[in-house]
Each structure stands twice: as structure tokens, then as C-alpha cells.
Structure 1
Amino acid sequence: MEEIKVSVILATFNAARLLPDCFASIAALHMPGLEIVVADGGSKDHTVDLLKAFRDVPLQWVSEPDKGIYDALNKGARMARGKWLYFMGADDRLLPGFVELCSKLQDENTVYYGNTIPIYGPEKPAYTLGVGAFSPWRLAQYCMNHQQILYPKTVFAKYQYPLKYRVYGDYALNLRVWGDKRFPKVFFPVDIAGYYMGGLSAHFNDTVFKKDKAGIILRSMGPVMYLHFLIKRFKLRHLYGHKDFF
């Protein structure tokens, strides 16, 4: 059996319309040592038929009720055989730069990440948070795109996506991981994925995470970062009127 280096993990539900193009972008990479892991929430469309028929890349899948996207992603992480885990949505597309980034994977405790680009959707931003290196300070201010990151599986021996957050479970996880010095972070400036503008975070609020964010920064990144974050938030909200900064 082929040794699996990277597991690409998807959480799906009634994704039959999107999966063919998503799977095609993965298969087009012709990358050895890659598997796809799909944690499906019990789809009622043709998603399961597509999973049964797919043969282009080694595939593991399960279809059963779950407690939401982050429960499904945690399930996929447990199923994965790869040394590094990559999470994407059925509406995302891998790019050739993904293979280049994967060629850099060496240390099995290091988080590697690259750039992502918006490829379609209702609008494109004036700037993108999916480009460039993220220091702990930058991450404390803004969420990075989960499609940027290849996590070593050792991260998920210690952490999971928290289920209490509807939208920002990935942000909560990354704040903890970026504050954990046992997991070095290495950035390579290559475009590894294209993502859909207008995904989950564009349609749903996550008031629970917004309430908890400052406390997560304090516990994960320490009191100095926490104080800087509070000062920055105060200035943006009260001096510059950016009420959506949380």
C-alpha cells in the first residue's frame, strides 16, 4: 500500500454539484502520497454515489449524521493516514502550488502554509487575508484562511476544532496553535488553493466566538498579546468606527 504523506480532508453535505470540480482539481495534481478523506453528514443528493464511483486518488469516506462542519472535520482528522492534514471545502480548488508546498514538508511537528486566492464568488475583496506570513500578532487581529494551512497530524493529537463555534472554529484552533511554540510555523509564498468568496463566514454570525476571542488570546498567546489586542480593538472600534472588528 502506498505510504500516505498528505490527507486532504473535506466535510460535505449535499455537495454533489460541487464535488466533481473539487475532486478534479485534486486529481490534476498527480501527486503521489496523497489521499482524500471525506466526512459526509448524511447527504440526500448524489454525493454518496460520487464517492462510491471515485477512483482517481486514494479515498476514504464516511456518510452519517454529525454535529456540524467542525465535528465532521475532527472526524476526518481521526480517519486520516497522512502525516500532514489539509482541510478544504467542496467549493475550493487546489492549485499546482500545492504540490510545491508539499515538497517542502519535512519536520513532522511543523505547520506549513502558503497563499490562497479568491477564484470566484459574489465579490472579491480589496485585499485578501489569505496572502503572506502570519505572525501571532497578525493572527490575533484577523482570521487566516484555513485553505492556506498544512497541519502536522501531531497538532490534532493535542487540539481539535471546538464544536461550540458555528463559524470560527478554525480561527479558535489557529489562535491556540500559533500560541504553542511546540509547533513551528513555516511560510512559503506559493498559491496553493483558490477559494469561494462568500462561504460560511459570509452568511452566519458567530457571537459566541466573538465573545470568547479575547480570552482565547490571553490563554494561548499570553498577557502582552492580550493587552495589545485590547488596545487595538478599542482604537478601531471607538476612534475609527470599525464596529465589525472583534
Structure 2
Amino acid sequence: MVIAAKDAPQSLMDCCLASLARLNRARDLEIVIVNSGVFPEPCARFGSSFHAFRRVEMAPKGVYAAYNRGISEASGRYLLFFGVDDIALPGMDSVIGTLEQSSPVYDLYAATAYMQGIGMSKPARARTAILFRNWCHQGLFYSREYLVQHPFDLDYAIQADHKANIEILADRSLRIGRSPELVSYFATGGASQTAHDLRFRRDLPRIAGENFGPAYRLTVALKQRIANVVKGSPVARR
């Protein structure tokens, strides 16, 4: 588990770590907190609840830079990424148990997350659906070995995980798993929910084409044009 923290409020960090510590399988977790800025020191009291617990410091370079640092610091087979305002739910115990018994290791194992104000976010069955709707990051368990070789692309400040998920799902040689278990509560309202990664949006047709073929490059580009027209119409502005 990698948690990115930047000047984390005490109350949020306590809530996040307490939710992980309450899991029946908390002792199976390695927690790596990648911190930028002021850190609420009392949070160290949760450390004894986990298999391993540590904090690493780095300059504030964005959430995906923090996640990439966490990838290099972690040692477990799987990585799940949280922000300090996210909460683990009991279904995570079941998924951890499944992953401990799975062999070979999944490259990506996707479970269900609850998105604040939106509802359930479940992984789609069709791989190409990822081009049009990303899977909720707080429900995704990645192979650490895969991410060591394919870290998040720092060219995309908000949607680097979407690019990574497209690349994973497009590769038919990779092992993908899905679970209906509800594993996390994702607190929306951060940058990923209140802003658009304009560079990612610009590059998405190319990314789609490189991974799924030329037809999908055209499909994504057309869908973007239609969306732009609808958003600019009088009906959309009412």
C-alpha cells in the first residue's frame, strides 16, 4: 500500500490509517507513506498494526511522482494507491486473501470502489471500455514487478493512472483479474475530480491507437469532438 501525503491533516491521516488497521488482514500489509511537507507525527502509533510501516520524504513533485517513489520503496507483490482522505472497507480482506493465494501473480487485479457523491465504480468486462471510462484507482491492485518496469508517466499530472490502465488492458499477454468486492471509499473532490488533464485529453486518441489500433484512435477522436459540441450547445449551458 502506497499513500501519497502532502501537508496531510491529522484527522484525515488518522481516519485512513485506522481503516487499514481495522482490517482482519492488516498484518499482511506493508504501508509506505510518501510525504511532502508537514507530517502529523502521531500517525506512527498505527505502525504496529501492519507487517511493515514507514515514511519516506520527497520534494513535492506531484502525486504520480510520489507513487513512483513508493513503487521503488515497496517490497510486496501487489501495490494499491491511496490518498490520505481515502478509506479501506471490509471487502479488502477478501481481496487480500485471494491475492495471497493467486499464482501466478496478476498484473492488475481490479475490485470495486465507492466514489463519494457518484456511487459504485466497478471494473468493466470489455477491455476497450477503459478508453472511455477509467477504473477507480483506489480499487486497483497492481503487480509491483510490473510497475517497477512501467512506472506512471509523469507527463500526465492528473490521469497518469488512466494511461497505465489502458496500456495494461491492451496487452493480452498480461493477467487481469476482477472482483465484485467493495474495497475502498474514494473521497472525490481532489484534483483528479475537479480538473481535466488537458495534455492527456489531447493525447488520448494517439494512446488509444497505439494500444488498441487505428479504429479506436478515430473512435476516441470522434467521441471527443461530439462531447465538445454538446458542451458548447445552448442545451448544455442551461
User: Could you tell me which residue of structure 1 aligns to residue 113 of structure 2?
Assistant: 116
2:185 is aligned, of 191, 194, 199, to: 194
Identity over the aligned pairs, expressed in percent?
Answer: 24
TM-score if structure 1 supplies the norm length?
0.84
Q: Is the 8 A contact 2:71 2:148 kept in 1?
A: no
Q: Within 2, Cα distance between the matches of 1:94 and 1:53?
A: 18
Following TM superposition, the consecutive aligned residue runs of length 4 or more in structure 1 with deviations greater than 6 angstroms are: none
- Pair 1:69-2:69 in alignment: no
Q: 1:98 to 1:90 in 2, by over 3 A?
A: same
Match of 2:144 among 123, 130, 153: 153
Q: Is the 8 A contact 1:109 1:155 kept in 2?
A: no
Gapped regions of structure 2 (runs ≥ 5): 233-238
Q: Distance in 2 between matches of 1:174 and 1:209?
A: 13
Instruction: State whether structure 2 residue 137 is matched by structure 1 residue 142.
Output: no
Q: Is the 8 A contact 2:88 2:185 kept in 1?
A: yes
Report the CA distance between 1:223 and its aligned residue.
1.9
Select the residue among 11, 30, 42 that pairs with 1:50.
42
Contact kept? 1:108, 1:154, Cα under 8 Å: no
In structure 2, C-alpha distance between the alignment counterparts of 1:199 and 1:134, rounded to whole Å: 27
* Whole-angstrom distance in 2 between the partners of 1:135 and 1:242: 27
Deviates most, 23-32 or 214-223: 214-223
Does the CA-based 8 Å contact 2:128-2:212 persist in structure 1? no
Moved more, 183-192 or 221-230: 221-230
- Residue identity opposite 2:9 in structure 1: A
Any idea what SS the aligned residue of 2:168 has? helix
User: Is contact 2:110–2:139 with CA below 8 Å preserved after alignment?
Assistant: yes
Unaligned runs of 5+ in 1: 1-7
Distance 1:111 1:29, change over 3 A: same
Q: Using the alignment, how far apart are the partners of 2:127 and 2:228 within structure 1?
A: 21
Q: Report deviation, 1:212.
A: 1.0
1:104 is aligned, of 98, 120, 145, to 98
1:79 to 58, 68, 73: 73
Higher helix share: 2
Contact 1:10 1:88 in 2 (8 A): yes
- The alignment's TM-score, normalised by the length of structure 2, stands at 0.86
Q: Aligned partners of 1:208, 1:64: CA distance in 2, in Å?
A: 25
CA distance in 2, matches of 1:197, 1:66: 21
Q: RMSD of the TM alignment (CA)?
A: 2.0
The aligned amino acid for 2:114 is I
Match of 2:212 in 1: 221
Aligned to 1:37: 32
Partner in structure 2 of residue 10 of structure 1: 3
Q: How far 1:163 sits from its partner (Å)?
A: 1.1
Q: Deviation per CA, 1:200-233, whole angstroms, max 9, x where unpaired?
A: 2223332111111111111122223323333443
Instruction: Tell me how far 1:25 sits from its aligned partner.
Output: 0.4
Q: Is the 8 A contact 2:107 2:176 kept in 1?
A: yes
Q: What whole-Å deviation, never above 9, does each CA across 1:88-145 have from its counterpart, x for those lacking one?
A: 11111011111111222212143111111134xxxx23x65x2242522211011221
What amino acid is aligned across from residue 195 of structure 1 in structure 2?
F
Query: What SS class does the counterpart of residue 80 from structure 2 fall into?
Result: strand
In structure 1, the partner of 2:236 is none
Paired residues of 1:155 and 1:177 also in contact (CA < 8 A) = no
Note the C-alpha offset of 1:236: 4.2
- Count residues with an aligned counterpart: 225
